[in-house]
Amino acid sequence: MEQTSSGFKQEDTQPKDWAQQLHHATRATREDWFGRGISYLCIGVIILVVASMLWFITSKGIATFTHNHVNVGQFLTGTNWAPDQGKTGALPMIIGSFAVTFAAAIVATPFAVGTAIFMTEIAPKRGRKVLQPVIELLVGIPSVVYGFIGLAVVVPFMRHLVGGSGFGIISATFVLFVMVLPTITTMTVDSLRAVPRFYKEASLALGATRWQTVSRVILRAATPGILTAIIFGMARAFGEALAVQMVIGNAAIMPKNLISPASTLTSQLTTGIGDTIDGTLPNNALWSLALILLLMSLFFNALVRIIAKRGQLSHER
C-alpha cells in the first residue's frame, strides 16, 4: 500500500521500468484530472441550463410572430388583450408591469437610502445590531406571505380609503415597496461602506456638518452603487409574480388610474398559462409575455454592467 501512495502503480527497481513509469501520469495528476472533470461537468450543467432556458423561452415566445403571424408592433402597442379571440395587444400588461416597478422603486428608494445612511453614518452599532436583522427578516419573508398580507390588509385599506375594489396598481406598489426595500437597502449599505474613509474625514475637517458630508460627498461618491441597487430592486419588482398577482386584480385592460384593477406580465402568466392549450395562439401569446420578461431581465442585467463600468471609470479619473 505504501508504494501506491507514492504515486506509482507498483514498485519496481528496474531502471527500464522506471523510465516507462515516468511517462505515465502520477496518481496526483490523475486525481487532478478527475477533479477537473467533475468541476467542469458541474459548470457545464449550469451553462446548459442557462442556454436551454434562453433558447426554449425565446423559441416559444417568437412563435406568436413566426407561426401565428402576429405583427410585433401590434403585439407591443395593441391595447386589446383577448388571445382566444385572436386579439393580442400586450400593452396593458407591459404598462402595468412598468408602472408597478417604477412606482415601487420611487417609493422605496428614499426609505432604503435613509435606512442605509442610518446604518453606516448615524448609528453603525445599532444599525448592525437592530437593522441588519430587520432587513434580513424582510428578505426572508416569502412572497406569497407578502401577497397574503397585501390581500388581507392593503386591499381592504385602499378600498376603505378611495373606494372601488381596492385592487390595483397602488396596492401592488405598496406590496412591492416592502419587497424591494431590503434589496435596495442592503446594496446601498455596501456602496456607502465602500466610500473611502478619507473622503468623509476631509469633508468633516473642512467644517461640514454630517448632513452636508453625507449629501454632498458620500452620496455623490456612492451614486453608481446606489443606482445599481435601485436597478436590482426594479428587476425584482418587475419579475415578482404571486404577490403582485394577488393584489392587482388581474384585469387585462389599459389601466386608467392607480386604483382600478390592472394586470402585469407576471400576473397574466401565472393565471393564464395553465388554462391554455400548448401550441395555440393564446398559449403562444403568453409565452411571448414570458419572452418580454426574459428580455427585460437581461436588459436590467446589462444596465447594471454599464453602470458598474462607468462607476469604475469615474473613480479612476
What is the 8-class DSSP label of residue 276? S
Residue entry with cell 388583450: 81
Q: Rank residues 45 and 162 by Cβ distance to other proteins and give the closer one.
A: 45
Rounded CA separation 173/106 (Å): 10
Letters for 253-292 (x = contact with other proteins by CB under 8 A, - = none) are -------------x--xxx-xx---x--------x--x--
87 bridge partner residues: 82
Residue 294 touches other proteins, criterion: CB under 8 A: yes
Rounded CA separation 145/240 (Å): 13
Residue 98 touches other proteins, criterion: CB under 8 A: no
Restricted to residues 24-43, the positions that interact with other proteins (CB under 8 A) are 27-29, 31-32, 34-36, 38-43
What grid cell was written down for 123? 448609528
Q: Rank residues 258 and 294 by Cβ distance to other proteins and give the closer one.
A: 294
Half-sphere exposure of 178 (CA within 13 A, CB side): 20
Residue 178 touches other proteins, criterion: CB under 8 A: yes
Residue 179 touches other proteins, criterion: CB under 8 A: no
Q: Rank residues 165 and 270 by Cβ distance to other proteins and give the closer one.
A: 270
Q: Rank residues 29 and 77 by Cβ distance to other proteins and give the closer one.
A: 29
Contact yes or no for 104/150 (Cβ under 8 A): no
Angle between helices 281-316 and 265-272 (to 10 degrees): 150
Residue in 72, 298, 306, 313 binding other proteins, rule: CB under 8 A = 298
What is the 8-class DSSP label of residue 88? E
How many residues are there in the chain? 317
Residue 141 touches other proteins, criterion: CB under 8 A: yes
Residue in 86, 124, 140, 196 binding other proteins, rule: CB under 8 A = 140
Q: Please, which residues have CB within 8 angstroms of residue 255's CB and are 6 or more apart in sequence?
A: 92, 95, 96, 99, 168, 169, 262
Q: Rank residues 141 and 257 by Cβ distance to other proteins and give the closer one.
A: 141
Rounded CA separation 273/293 (Å): 14
Residue 144 touches other proteins, criterion: CB under 8 A: yes
Residue in 88, 115, 171, 228 binding other proteins, rule: CB under 8 A = 115
Letters for 194-223 (x = contact with other proteins by CB under 8 A, - = none) are --------------xxxxx-xx--------
Smallest separation, CB 16 to other proteins (Å): 25
CB atoms under 10 Å from CB of 260, counted, come to 17
Residue 245 touches other proteins, criterion: CB under 8 A: yes
Q: Rank residues 204 and 254 by Cβ distance to other proteins and give the closer one.
A: 204
